[in-house]
């Protein structure tokens, strides 16, 4: 179990379904936008802005979902049904606490939020954005519940069921989109999403009740109080949520730097980002797998965080190298696929080829980070991420005179620094693990 080969097999087995799950969501989002585009430019802008809001809100529920995954996996490794039940309860209660301010508060504030997103412009896109948010923000209750349910199943070692639930939800969205958009306009697109997710949540709840591990946990008294379970989930998941939110904020800030280069460069960067997203989803799939595997190993008392981190880093780097080669060879085709014009395509293709040095580093870092998350070292990762973003932005500004290649160079240098910091943390904690094999991380180190 402690060999690199067995770690790699486990990461591929757990991470493969996660990657397909993420791809299903992206495919549904693209098709959804195609149908919305028939309503005009204002409708596209409204849905794009509202979708960005949902991406930011995802960082909030990660505290519950990711924290639950790690704690359930650790309890599963320890064969402790009471701890499993406590972990599930902690995630469910934390989710219930997060829903009212986001779903209800967001609905009540949908008009000022739409105005903020549009920079105060109350033109045609404003009313459409408000209409979309009026459905999507209350729908975050289903979105959050589904995310925690997926987290429980993944912690139990089942990544295939969340994949199937994603296929169900997104399949329904694809069927309902043309019908509901035709009947209700932009709001219909949001309604299709909520209905698809609700159906998947209902099916997932049935599967959850039949899971042997969770069925045994229901017959056992939870370990500790509900308040302690919630605090434990929040303490485990909040650093992961912070890491995600900081990366999202850094990506948005980088768009602002690119925007100074001109409209063509901004469009090229946006299209290239879509091509790059297919690669980054693979890295995050390995990250989730590494977090689950590491937490499970710690629960069994066998340790193994260092071995999982090395294997995940090598797998992430290999995936990054493969995607970099594909993007280098197919850069022109990617730009044509997204309809880039002659003024945009060359800049976008050049940027994609410049990613050859960045993607292997990004893959290694993101994948290896999952092992640290599973071991409870997320606070350290969040600090590295903050430092990386703070380094990347001034570098991007300084190197932006070189155009998009300069921006890519800034991204690569900042990621190399983050990889170096993670390597230092890995060496330090590997020595500690040799002395205390089953020790988990705490804020005090």
* Per-residue pLDDT at 440: 41
Over residues 121-137, the pLDDT tens digits come to: 667 778 888 888 999 99
Say which range, 23-32, 106-115, 172-181, has the weakest mean pLDDT: 23-32
Where is mean pLDDT largest: 76-80, 110-114, 375-379?
76-80
Supply 28's token pair: 């549904």
* Per-residue pLDDT at 321: 95
Higher pLDDT, 26 or 400: 400
Higher pLDDT, 142 or 39: 142
pTM greater than 0.75 (yes/no): yes
Residue 200, pLDDT > 90, answer yes
- What percent of the chain clears pLDDT 70, i.e. is strictly above it? 93
DSSP state of 18: H
- What percent of the chain clears pLDDT 90, i.e. is strictly above it? 41
The mean pLDDT value for 212-222 works out to 86
Over residues 71-91, the pLDDT tens digits come to: 999 999 988 999 999 999 999
Residue 224, pLDDT > 50, answer yes
CB 31 within 8 A of CB 177: yes
Residue 257, pLDDT > 90, answer no
| 366-402 as b/e: b if 16+ CB within 10 A | bbbbbbbbbbbbbbbbbbbbbebbebbbebbbebbee
* Per-residue pLDDT at 251: 80
The mean pLDDT value for 377-399 works out to 90
- Phi–psi pair at 439, nearest 5 degrees: -70, 135
Where along the chain do its domains lie?
A: 14-235, 260-445
* Per-residue pLDDT at 433: 54
pLDDT band at 51 (very low <50, low <70, confident <90, very high): confident
Measure the CA–CA gap between 408 and 243, rounded to whole angstroms: 21
Say which range, 252-266, 302-316, 409-423, has the weakest mean pLDDT: 252-266
pLDDT band at 286 (very low <50, low <70, confident <90, very high): very high
CA distances from residue 136 to 141, 183, 371, 403 in whole angstroms, order as listed: 9, 17, 34, 37
383: nearest Cα among 418, 416, 331: 418
Measure the CA–CA gap between 90 and 64, rounded to whole angstroms: 8
* Per-residue pLDDT at 287: 93
Residue 317, pLDDT > 90, answer yes
Measure the CA–CA gap between 214 and 324, rounded to whole angstroms: 41
CB 29 within 8 A of CB 37: no
CB 152 within 8 A of CB 65: no
Measure the CA–CA gap between 144 and 146, rounded to whole angstroms: 5
* Per-residue pLDDT at 122: 64
140: nearest Cα among 46, 252, 65: 65
CB 339 within 8 A of CB 30: no
Residue 442, pLDDT > 60, answer no
97: nearest Cα among 239, 231, 240, 241: 231
DSSP state of 1: -
How high is the mean pLDDT of the chain? 85
* Per-residue pLDDT at 270: 76
Supply 147's token pair: 């995310």
The mean pLDDT value for 254-276 works out to 79
* Per-residue pLDDT at 120: 67
Measure the CA–CA gap between 61 and 83, rounded to whole angstroms: 21
Over residues 319-345, the pLDDT tens digits come to: 999 999 998 998 888 888 766 677 778
Residue 67, pLDDT > 70, answer yes
CB 73 within 8 A of CB 292: yes
CB 107 within 8 A of CB 138: yes
pLDDT band at 430 (very low <50, low <70, confident <90, very high): low
Alpha-carbon radius of gyration of the chain:
22
Largest Cα span, the chain = 65
Over residues 406-419, the pLDDT tens digits come to: 999 999 999 999 99
Residue 158, pLDDT > 60, answer yes
SS (HEC) of 377-391 = CHHHHHHHHHHHHHH
Supply 334's token pair: 């990617």
């Amino acid at each position: 179990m402690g060999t690199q080969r067995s770690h790699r097999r486990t990461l591929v087995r757990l991470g493969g379904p996660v990657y397909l799950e993420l791809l299903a969501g992206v495919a549904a989002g693209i098709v959804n936008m195609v149908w919305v585009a028939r309503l005009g430019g204002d409708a596209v802008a409204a849905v794009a802005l509202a979708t960005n809001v949902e991406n930011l809100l995802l960082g909030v529920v990660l505290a519950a979902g990711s924290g639950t995954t790690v704690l359930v996996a650790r309890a599963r490794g320890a064969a402790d049904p009471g701890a499993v039940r406590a972990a599930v309860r902690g995630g469910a209660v934390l989710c219930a606490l997060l829903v009212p301010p986001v779903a209800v508060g967001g609905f009540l504030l949908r008009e000022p939020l739409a105005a903020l997103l549009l920079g105060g412009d109350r033109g045609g896109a404003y009313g459409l954005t408000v209409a979309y948010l009026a459905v999507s923000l209350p729908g975050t209750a289903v979105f959050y519940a589904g995310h925690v349910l997926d987290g429980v199943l993944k912690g139990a070692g089942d990544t295939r069921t969340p994949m199937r639930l994603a296929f169900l939800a997104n399949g329904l969205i694809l069927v309902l989109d043309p019908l509901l958009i035709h009947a209700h306009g932009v709001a219909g697109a949001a309604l299709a999403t909520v209905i698809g997710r609700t159906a998947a949540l209902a099916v997932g709840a049935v599967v959850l009740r039949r899971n042997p591990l969770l069925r045994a946990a229901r017959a056992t008294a939870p370990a500790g109080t509900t308040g302690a379970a919630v605090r434990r989930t929040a303490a485990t998941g909040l650093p992961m949520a912070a890491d995600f939110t900081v990366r999202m904020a850094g990506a948005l800030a980088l768009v602002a730097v690119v925007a100074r280069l001109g409209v063509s460069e901004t469009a090229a960067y946006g299209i290239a980002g879509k091509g790059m997203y297919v690669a980054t989803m693979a890295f995050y799939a390995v990250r989730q797998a590494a977090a689950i595997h590491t937490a499970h190993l710690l629960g069994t008392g066998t340790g193994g965080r260092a071995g999982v981190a090395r294997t995940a880093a090598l797998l992430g780097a290999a995936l990054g190298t493969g995607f970099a080669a594909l993007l280098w060879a197919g850069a022109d085709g990617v730009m044509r696929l997204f309809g880039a014009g002659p003024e945009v395509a060359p800049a976008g293709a050049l940027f994609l080829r410049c990613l050859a040095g960045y993607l292997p580093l990004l893959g290694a870092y993101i994948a290896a980070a999952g092992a640290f998350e599973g071991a409870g070292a997320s606070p350290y990762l969040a600090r590295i991420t903050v430092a990386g973003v703070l380094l990347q932005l001034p570098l991007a500004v300084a190197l932006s005179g070189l155009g998009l290649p300069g921006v890519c160079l800034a991204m690569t240098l900042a990621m190399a620094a983050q990889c170096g910091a993670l390597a230092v943390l890995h060496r330090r904690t590997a020595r500690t693990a040799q002395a205390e094999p089953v020790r988990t991380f705490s804020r005090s180190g």
